[in-house]
Amino acid sequence: MLNTAPLSVLIHEQSKVYGDRAALSYRDYDANAWRTISWNRFSELVSLVSNALLKFGVGIQENIAVFSQNKPESVCVDFGAYGIRAVSVPFYATSSEAQVQYMINDASIRFVFVGEQYQYDTAFRVLKFCPTLERLIIFDRKVKKNPQDQVSLYFDEFLHEGDGFPFAEEVKARATSIEPDDIANILYTSGTTGVSKGVTLTYRMYAAAIPANDKIMHLTDKDVIMCFLPFTHVFERAWSYWCLSRGAQLAINLKPQDIQMTLREVHPTCMAAVPRFWEKVYSGVQDKIDTSSALQRKLMLDALAVGKRYNVEYKLRGQEPPLTLKLRYMFYEKTIISLLKKTLGLENAHFFPTAGAAIPREVEEFVHACGINMTAGYGLTETTATVSCDWHDSPVSIGSVGRVLDGIEISFGENNEILLKGDTITKSYYRKPEVTAQAIDEDGWFHTGDSGYIKNGELFLTDRIKDLFKTSNGKYISPQALESKLVVDRYIDEVAIIADERKFVSALIIPEYTLLEQWAKDNSIGVASREELCSNPLVVNMLMERITTLQQEFAHYEQVKRITLLPHPFSMEKGELTNTLKMRRPVIAQNYKELIDKMYEE
């Protein structure tokens, strides 16, 4: 049953229902084992945080920051802050010094909770540039403090300040006096263009978003949720709060690079993910198929073909499959498909919300063919995540981003831009009235910057308006459409389409180096380095041939004509990626200008 208590008291109310049942779990890397935290203990920790914050004089609607990877402590701090009407401002664990300094100063933050050594070192270095910053509280006891540090304390020391709950009455008074338009979070956008903006999320927005999602998706308190995306991301944050409101258990993944291992250890029923995760799964399975024996390959391909017919062509459309197809699917489901899901750690799969970028059609069909309920959706930080998603009891079309949630008004403006109104939509960017006025018009419509249309009740996205490229021939190119098509190739890891003010479309390719090196070896192509691999004409021609096949559905002027393979991935350090791994196209264009210009030489 959904608990609709406000975030300020949610954990305490749930502890009354679930007591000693597990609320959170996390991987103890020192012991190589998973640990659990009960609802009762979770509630106690939240109360300790609330009391300790009051001991340090944190005021109503004061901003505190959490600069950490996913950890149980960060969740406790969030809810402890809500309990005293403070505002939690999460920073991405990979944020740079410049970003951290900007956010601390922009939000006038006094207290920053840091996760591990990188976050501590980064925050300590900016201390002297942040006039409001008074103290760092360190989650991980293994963090080594700077010898000159006189302002930091460890999280267990901080919690001791709340021992005995000395401010219990004040906590109760604050928690029960929450106003709907109080700010709960300020989420700083990662900024693919321009300066980062702080999106304000209020209690009213969460109170509207959680029941709206609950109404159309079948989450229960029996579900075990793998928290893979950073809690800083609105998708994971809002999703996790809904899960806690349902009494589901959060299994907190500390290290993103270990997700394949932790999935096999936890066997979750649900996980919010971005398409890139499923693209990697798809590429891995395709590689497995390609390297299997002829008989195994035939069986696996047939199983996926049957799964696609059964799930995509019938079940998703709300239709009953023919008996013969049903029997064939049941056979494969108990054999090949079951083994595949077990290998991934997804044998208990319930449903998997997926958003954040365009989902390649082949990938979406593949996931459904495996009997995994990928729930596609669309949303922004400014919309408390979900604008639309696949409704579990309604027909689903591959390629759509589902149906708009109840309570959200949608309209379409110039260039079919999606415009939104509703209680889940932000009313402002923090301390940026001019930017707010640019995003929200006089009639109250929030301009998303995305274009789309509705067909048979489902929303389809077409372009990110500001990302459209115009060639020197006057033709408009949608880079995302091409990139999502090409990235499903097993030899391609990342693609950056180049076309703006150019004569034709080209691409910078980050290859899957291991697979490409193996291909070169199998074809007796000797390469001594990645640089040599990426510049070898035979390697480049092979990839260009594969790209030509993949892009046949695009108009001639939209197709990639030349490519350059890069020996190193795009990086956050060089400013080429945001914290959510979205490409900063202007930076990439500048960093690789010489290589790009070379592709356009006559």
Q: How confident is the model over 185-213, as pLDDT tens digits? A: 999 986 555 568 999 999 999 999 999 99
* Calpha distance 221→596 (Å, rounded): 52
Mean pLDDT comparison of 79-83, 515-519, 581-585, 593-597, highest-scoring range? 79-83
Distances (CA, A) of 397 to 354, 423, 458, 460, 463: 15, 27, 8, 10, 18
* Calpha distance 162→211 (Å, rounded): 33
* Calpha distance 203→423 (Å, rounded): 10
* Calpha distance 25→250 (Å, rounded): 6
Instruction: Provide the pLDDT for residue 356.
Output: 87
Chosen CATH of 275-465 out of 3.40.50.12780, 3.30.360.10, 3.40.640.10, 3.20.20.150: 3.40.50.12780
* Residue the block writes with tokens 């500390």: 254
Percent of the chain with pLDDT over 90: 87
Looking at the chain, which residues constitute the CATH 3.40.50.12780 domain(s)? 10-178+217-271, 275-465
Q: Are 252 and 272 in contact (CB under 8 A)?
A: no
398-437 pLDDT, tens digit each? 999 999 999 999 999 998 999 999 999 999 999 999 999 9
Class of domain 10-178+217-271: alpha beta
* Calpha distance 427→500 (Å, rounded): 33
At the topology level, CATH places domain 468-599 in: GMP Synthetase; Chain A, domain 3 (3.30.300)
Instruction: Provide the pLDDT for residue 578.
Output: 83
8-38 pLDDT, tens digit each? 999 999 999 999 999 999 999 999 999 999 9
Q: Are 578 and 190 in contact (CB under 8 A)?
A: yes
490-506 pLDDT, tens digit each? 999 999 999 988 889 99
Look at residue 86 and tell me whether its pLDDT is greater than 80. yes
Looking at the chain, which residues constitute the CATH 3.30.300.30 domain(s)? 468-599
Instruction: Provide the pLDDT for residue 194.
Output: 55
* Calpha distance 575→565 (Å, rounded): 19
The token duo for 275 is: 């398409």
302-354 pLDDT, tens digit each? 999 999 999 999 999 999 999 999 999 999 999 999 999 999 999 999 999 99
13 phi and psi angles, rounded to 5 deg: -70, -40
